[in-house]
């Protein structure tokens, strides 16, 4: 009860009458339980469970449980409560594109949203989840445990184009925006030293072919690609990258540099639209999408041929 429910202490210290206490507790706290029951039907959160020292949200679509960080305003369950869903189109396309029994890398796993979904959707997959920030990694481990995800291997480690310990800018109220650059420029940012390595080094420990890489590292995506370029050339995985111009600018590059680097080794960049997938040659100020799928022109020719055939008839990959 530390920091909460002062009214209860006041009642037991005889500062409030029983009637005053009951009314205040209901008006300030208990009423919110019923307010959330009215909010949930509009969202992908099916249930909110309150247990000792924990709040656990369960999703409607997949039945995935996530332990909530009380200090973080931007964790996925809160995003869903605020905006009804979280990147459902992206998940739908990932499910369509993943091959049977895939080996998946989730780089920048945070609390595990994508790892949990991919691992549950394809139980015989193997997911390697990387999260360098200790607080987020702790929730990742807890979320994997409460969902019984034995096919996810988690690592308190970040991937980049360098090795060693480096400073991350972390703030509790928005851990998803923690980065090697000070993205938020907030006063409450903490500097935390976290371990990094290159994908080309880590991949030496992975014996199976890598089929899919999801990378969301708040602006540092180019460094991940450069640090794993030999691995990408060798395995030719499907890539799912977040590329934001404003975050990339903090690292002194434009997302189009990622398109160039990957294009030189045979990749096409596709964006997700309402009508399907659409290939793009560059990211401009008019580009509204921030998540992009990269397919290798030879290895994933079957998907890209669908795109070419559909595009010639005026539509996109369905």
In a domain, 318, yes or no: no
Q: Does the pLDDT of residue 312 top 60, yes or no? A: no
Q: Does the pLDDT of residue 313 top 70, yes or no? A: no
| Nearest Cα to Cα of residue 271 among 297, 240, 298 | 240
d(CA 78, CA 169): 22
Q: Stretch 38-56: mean pLDDT, rounded? A: 97
Helix (H, G, I), strand (E, B), or coil: what is residue 87? Answer: coil
Q: Does the pLDDT of residue 309 top 80, yes or no? A: no
- Is the Cβ–Cβ distance between 248 and 222 less than 8 Å? yes
Q: Does the pLDDT of residue 38 top 70, yes or no? A: yes
**If pLDDT is split at 50, 70 and 90, which confidence band does 3 have?**
low
- Over residues 67-87, the pLDDT tens digits come to 999 988 899 999 999 999 999
On whether both 200 and 268 belong to a single domain, the answer is yes
Q: Stretch 16-25: mean pLDDT, rounded? A: 93
Looking at residue 32, its pLDDT comes to 92
On whether both 194 and 174 belong to a single domain, the answer is yes
Strand partners, 276: 273
For residue 299, the domain's CATH number is 3.40.50.150
| Nearest Cα to Cα of residue 125 among 114, 111, 136, 133 | 114
Q: Does the pLDDT of residue 317 top 80, yes or no? A: no
- Over residues 141-164, the pLDDT tens digits come to 999 999 999 999 999 999 999 999
On whether both 47 and 19 belong to a single domain, the answer is yes
Looking at residue 307, its pLDDT comes to 58
| Nearest Cα to Cα of residue 213 among 115, 120, 89, 85 | 115
In a domain, 35, yes or no: yes
Burial class (CB in 10 A: 0-12, 13-18, 19+), 98: middle
Looking at residue 308, its pLDDT comes to 47
Range of the domain at 48: 6-80
| Nearest Cα to Cα of residue 199 among 175, 169, 182, 222 | 222
Looking at residue 177, its pLDDT comes to 67
3-state secondary structure 109-148: CCCCHHHHHHHHHCCCCEEEEECCCHHHHHHHHHHHHHCC
Helix (H, G, I), strand (E, B), or coil: what is residue 38? Answer: helix
On whether both 148 and 224 belong to a single domain, the answer is yes
Structural tokens at position 311: 């595009």
Looking at residue 186, its pLDDT comes to 72
On whether both 121 and 192 belong to a single domain, the answer is yes
Domain boundary among 60, 80, 100: 80
- Over residues 85-103, the pLDDT tens digits come to 999 999 999 999 999 999 9
On whether both 61 and 181 belong to a single domain, the answer is no
Q: How many domains does the chain have?
A: 2
Terminal-residue alpha carbon distance, the chain: 52
> Which of 165-174, 246-255, 288-297 reaches the highest mean pLDDT?
288-297
d(CA 306, CA 97): 13
Structural tokens at position 178: 């923690």
In a domain, 210, yes or no: yes
- ∠ CA 271-181-245, nearest 5°, is 25
**If pLDDT is split at 50, 70 and 90, which confidence band does 172 have?**
confident
In a domain, 317, yes or no: no
Domain boundary among 18, 50, 80: 80
In a domain, 199, yes or no: yes
On whether both 92 and 234 belong to a single domain, the answer is yes
Is the pTM higher than 0.75? The answer reads yes
Domain boundary among 23, 56, 80: 80
On whether both 68 and 147 belong to a single domain, the answer is no
Position with higher pLDDT, 308 vs 118: 118
On whether both 16 and 104 belong to a single domain, the answer is no
| Nearest Cα to Cα of residue 211 among 150, 124, 147 | 124
Strand partners, 56: 49, 67
**Ramachandran area for residue 122 (φ above 0: left; ψ -120 to 50: alpha; else beta):** beta
- Over residues 193-225, the pLDDT tens digits come to 999 999 999 999 999 999 999 999 988 999 999
On whether both 149 and 44 belong to a single domain, the answer is no
Q: Does the pLDDT of residue 296 top 80, yes or no? A: yes
On whether both 66 and 110 belong to a single domain, the answer is no
Element (H, E) at 302: helix 301-312
On whether both 63 and 116 belong to a single domain, the answer is no
Strand partners, 66: 57
d(CA 95, CA 99): 9
Torsion of CA 98, 100, 101, 107, to 10 degrees: 0
Greatest alpha-carbon pair distance for the chain in Å reads: 78
Q: Does the pLDDT of residue 271 top 80, yes or no? A: yes
- Over residues 226-268, the pLDDT tens digits come to 999 999 999 999 999 999 899 888 888 999 999 999 999 999 9
Structural tokens at position 258: 């990622």
């Amino acid at each position: 009860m530390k920091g909460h429910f002062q009214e209860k202490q006041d009642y037991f210290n005889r500062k409030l009458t029983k009637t005053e206490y009951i009314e205040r507790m209901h008006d300030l706290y208990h009423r919110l339980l019923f307010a959330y029951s009215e909010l949930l039907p509009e969202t992908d959160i099916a249930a909110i469970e309150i247990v000792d020292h924990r709040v656990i949200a369960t999703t409607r679509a997949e039945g995935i449980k996530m332990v909530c960080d009380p200090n973080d305003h931007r964790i996925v369950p809160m995003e869903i409560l605020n905006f009804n869903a979280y990147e459902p189109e992206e998940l739908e396309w990932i499910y369509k594109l993943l091959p049977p029994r895939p080996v998946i890398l989730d780089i920048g796993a945070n609390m595990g949203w994508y790892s949990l979904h991919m691992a549950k959707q394809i139980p015989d997959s193997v997911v390697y989840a990387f999260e360098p920030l200790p607080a987020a990694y702790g929730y990742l481990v807890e979320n994997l445990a409460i969902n019984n995800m034995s096919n996810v291997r988690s690592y308190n480690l970040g991937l980049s184009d360098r090795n060693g310990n480096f400073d991350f800018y972390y703030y509790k109220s928005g851990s998803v925006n923690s980065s090697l650059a000070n993205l938020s420029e907030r006063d409450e940012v903490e500097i935390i030293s976290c371990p990094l390595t290159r994908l080309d080094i880590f991949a030496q420990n992975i014996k199976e072919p890598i089929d899919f890489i999801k990378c969301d590292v708040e602006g540092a995506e180019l460094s991940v690609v450069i640090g794993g370029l030999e691995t990408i050339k060798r395995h030719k995985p499907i890539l799912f990258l977040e590329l934001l111009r404003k975050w990339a600018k903090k690292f002194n590059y434009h997302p189009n540099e990622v398109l160039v680097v990957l294009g030189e080794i045979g990749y096409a960049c596709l964006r997700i639209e309402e009508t399907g997938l659409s290939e793009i040659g560059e990211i401009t100020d008019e580009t509204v999408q921030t998540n992009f799928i990269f397919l290798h022109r030879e290895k994933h020719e079957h998907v890209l041929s669908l795109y070419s055939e559909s595009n010639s008839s005026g539509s996109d990959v369905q």
